[in-house]
Amino acid sequence: MDTPKSVHLKDQIKKVILGDYARIMETRESTLGKFILIAVGIEFLGACLDRQHLNATGRSEKRFNTAIRELFPKKYHHFSRQESIPNLFVDFRCPVIHQFRPGKSVILYSIEDIGKQSHLLYHAGGSLILVAEEFYKDLAGAGVEMIKRIESTG
**Percentage of the chain exceeding pLDDT 90:** 84
Average confidence (pLDDT) over 42-57 = 92
pTM, two decimals, is 0.94
Domains of the chain: which residue ranges? 4-153
pLDDT, residue 133, reads 97
Beta bridge partner(s), residue 130: 108
For 80-129, the pLDDT digits (tens) are: 999 999 999 999 999 999 999 999 999 999 999 998 899 999 998 899 99
Average pLDDT of the residues of the chain: 94
Q: DSSP states of the chain as a string?
A: ---HHHHHHHHHIIIIIIIIHHHHHTSSS-HHHHHHHHHHHHHHHHHHH-SS-TT-SS-HHHHHHHHHHHHS-GGGGGGGSTT-SS-IIIIIIHHHHHHSS--TTEEEE-HHHH-GGGTTPBPTTSPEEEEHHHHHHHHHHHHHHHHHHHHHH-
- Indicate if the pLDDT at residue 154 is higher than 70: no
106 with 128: CB under 8 angstroms? yes
**Percentage of the chain exceeding pLDDT 70:** 97
Band the pLDDT of 2: cuts 50, 70, 90.
Answer: low
Of the chain, the end-to-end C-alpha distance in Å amounts to: 6
With vertex at residue 94, the alpha carbon angle to CA 54 and CA 27, rounded to the nearest 5 degrees, is 90
Band the pLDDT of 1: cuts 50, 70, 90.
Answer: very low
- Indicate if the pLDDT at residue 149 is higher than 70: yes
